[in-house]
Structure 1
Amino acid sequence: MTPVIETAAIFHNATPADLYELFMDSAKHSAATGAPAKISRKIGGKWSAFNGMICGKNLALLPKQMIVQTWRSTAWKAADPDSILVVHFEKSASGGATVHLAHIGVPQYDHKGVTQGWMNYYWKPWRKYLKGRKRSG
């Protein structure tokens, strides 16, 4: 079994609700990552991001707090089971918000790429997006 990917990031200029919306709102997700996303806001609904390169289904949603989804990449083998993604948003002690992520079941051959991907394709672009949004609005 592959190790769980665990990561956390603090966003000083956002609330837990802001971060939840960046993940769950198709337009905001697309704008923040710079790539097309289509995201259902319903439990059992499908989602895709990065023009369909990653996709899955919503398993549990607690608005402004937590998202649980199946998750898979088009680079994975057909025989690979979907992974499970758990994302939790909370208010930071220093102000702002923290996102905690646990990604379970990523195939060993893509583990490093997915681990780095969270930083490179989500947390870094989110920081840039939020910085621009707060200063302009």
Structure 2
Amino acid sequence: MPTSIHQEIAIAASPDRVYAALLDAAQFSAMSGGAPTEIDGRAGGAFSCFGGMITGRNVELVADRRIVQAWRVGNWPEGVYSIARFELAPRGAETQLVFDHTGFPEDAREHLANGWHANYWEPLRRALG
């Protein structure tokens, strides 16, 4: 069975605001407590978050609807990338974010699953809610 994480989160903001918060370096840095962040918000663009602990490239971007990233943690073996997929849909005044993360080292699953909540979803809710 492939190693994967599936999470569904409601965020009290419109999809365009959630999309921007995930792809704009200044917003992401502010959301993550000021950690150094560089994000090229174009398809094929590279990103580095949390002071370089997370790096990768934007594989597919559909404005305000989908972000697919080749995503890695700095201490993973060289050349190992996972796929992080963010699907955004309006639901009333909120955004329903459906997140799937696949292809990461098996022993990282629990740490990653907790990390998405602590480092992405809760800060997004605080910043946008």
User: Which range, TM-score by smaller chain?
Assistant: over 0.9
Question: Deviations 1:76-116 (Å, cap 9, x if unpaired)?
Answer: 1226x210111111101x43111111111110121111111
User: 2:103 aligns to what?
Assistant: 105
CA distance, structure 2, for counterparts of residue 120 and residue 58 of structure 1: 22
**TM-score of the superposition, structure 2-length normalised?**
0.93
**TM-score of the superposition, structure 1-length normalised?**
0.87
Shift of 1:129: 1.4
CA contact (8 A) 2:17 2:128 kept: no
CA distance, structure 2, for counterparts of residue 116 and residue 2 of structure 1: 19
Shift of 1:8: 1.3
Shift of 1:6: 0.7
User: 2:121 aligns to what?
Assistant: 123
Question: Cα RMSD over matched residues?
Answer: 1.3
Secondary structure at 1:123's aligned position in 2? helix
CA contact (8 A) 1:46 1:56 kept: yes
Greater share of strand? 2
User: 1:91 aligns to what?
Assistant: 90
Question: Deviations 1:50-81 (Å, cap 9, x if unpaired)?
Answer: 011000011111111101110000121226x2
Residue segments in structure 1 that go unaligned for 5+ positions in a row: 132-137
Shift of 1:36: 2.0
| AA aligned opposite 1:113 | H
1:16-95 mapped onto 2 (5 Å cutoff): 16-34=15-33, 35-78=35-78, 81-92=80-91, 94-95=92-93
CA distance, structure 2, for counterparts of residue 51 and residue 66 of structure 1: 24
CA distance, structure 1, for counterparts of residue 113 and residue 75 of structure 2: 15
